Structure 1
Amino acid sequence: MNPLPPVSEITQLQIECVAKWHDEPIANPYDGFKHLVCRQHEFNYRLWHEEDVARSPEANDERIAGVKRSIDKLNQQRNDMIEKIDDAITVLLAEAGVGDTSALPINTETAGSAIDRLSIMALRLYHYAEQRDRTDADDDHRAKVGARVELCQVQHADLSHSLQTLIDDLFAARMQHKTYRQMKMYNDPSLNPEIYRAKK
């Protein structure tokens, strides 16, 4: 038995949260696995908008430096949440009675990584639609962006289907699941030479 919500519910959560968070304070009303998905999605949402600020021609050096530090922190939190999602799947697989799968094939990316990619796609779809529907844009702009929206929708559907297949295979013991540790070095004061040298 697969205890995870269908991928269609995960992607709907991501799409709905993007729209809500542009009009309302960020909130996470979900429980269990969906709570983790929403939390991970929040870090991508915050990252997306900090990246916009970092590229603003009106941002001065001090502002960009502050945004860069924020981006580093958010990216670390985003990757930590990918691991937590995959760790939660490990627990759910054990609870579902899925035994040792170490001899089975493994996917090129984890379910958590695919959920992260779908989160980014939800953000991309929202902001492309926003650009497509700008009242100050000309027809060429709207046509170009509209074509990109259609392509993103196809890619979103493809990845959603692939993730659902992967999850089904994991719980049917047809594929192996692992949490791949991100092992980021830049935020670790013992591994980033620019940090540990500055402390000497």
Structure 2
Amino acid sequence: MDFCEKAWKIFDQSISDYHVKDDVDSEVNNPFENGSLEHLLYAKNWIDTVQWHLEDIIRDENINPVEALKIKRRIDSSNQKRTDLVEFIDSWFLQKHINITPNSDAKINTETPAWAVDRLSILALKVYHMALEANRESATEEHRVKCTEKLNVLLEQKKDLCEAVNQLIFDIESGKVKMKVYKQMKMYNDESLNPVLYQNQKNG
């Protein structure tokens, strides 16, 4: 089983586990050993899955504005956790390949393995929910046909992305690509970098 196939299987398990209760407040019960790559991948997708449904909820036109603001704050917090976990996964890859010396002509990829995994995790959610729509009995036949067409495109995208992710990891392991990681340095949650936040502190 290659890396992408393994990751996709874990994402599927996370998504299925979430939809047992289908509740954004459900507690995560990660079945994998703490510190393992499997544990990190499951945790990553669980965050994505909860956030997916929070994004659905906040788009309800009849939502209470106070509740919407609470959910927006929760989404912001989720985004930060998602970013932190992606960087943690990249740290796992860095540690795994610490003894590999890149070739003198090694290239630098535009994204790291973990950010490619981030895209794969979101794609797994798109496939899951588009498949639901393609088979939803309460929808029109036209809707189901259109969603089936979209699902086929997503599955083709999965094939291409998996090939790219596996190739990236192979190139890192063979020294063809030099893995270099930069922290995201998100500014909007930082009280010392977001002007609105530090002005509020000053005025307070």
TM band (smaller chain): over 0.9
Is there any run of 5+ residues in structure 2 with no aligned partner, and where?
none
Larger relative CO (CA 8 A, sep 6+): 1 or 2? 1
Percent identical: 33
- Distance in 2 between the 1:7 and 1:82 partners? 16
Q: What's the offset of the Cα at 1:101?
A: 5.5
| The 10-residue stretch of structure 1 (20-29 or 48-57) with the greater mean CA deviation from structure 2 | 20-29
Residue among 49, 56, 67 paired with 2:53: 49
- In the alignment, does 2:140 pair up with 1:138? yes
Give the 5 Å matches for 1:115-194: 115-194=117-196
Residue among 71, 74, 80 paired with 1:76: 80
Deviations 1:21-55 (A, max 9, x none): 10055321113111111111111111101101110
TM-score normalised by L of structure 2: 0.90
Relative to structure 1, is the Cα distance of residues 67 and 150 closer, same or farther in structure 2, using a 3 angstrom cutoff? same
The one-letter code matched in structure 2 to 1:9 is K
Q: What's the offset of the Cα at 1:180?
A: 2.4
Q: How many residues align?
A: 195
- Distance in 2 between the 1:128 and 1:56 partners? 19
1:199 is paired with a residue of what secondary structure? helix
| The 10-residue stretch of structure 1 (20-29 or 42-51) with the greater mean CA deviation from structure 2 | 20-29
Is there any run of 5+ residues in structure 1 with no aligned partner, and where?
none
- Distance in 2 between the 1:102 and 1:56 partners? 54
The one-letter code matched in structure 2 to 1:39 is A
Give the corresponding residue for 2:8.
11
* 8 A contact 1:121–1:156 mirrored in 2: yes
TM-score normalised by L of structure 1: 0.92
RMSD of aligned C-alpha atoms?
1.6
* 8 A contact 1:33–1:88 mirrored in 2: yes
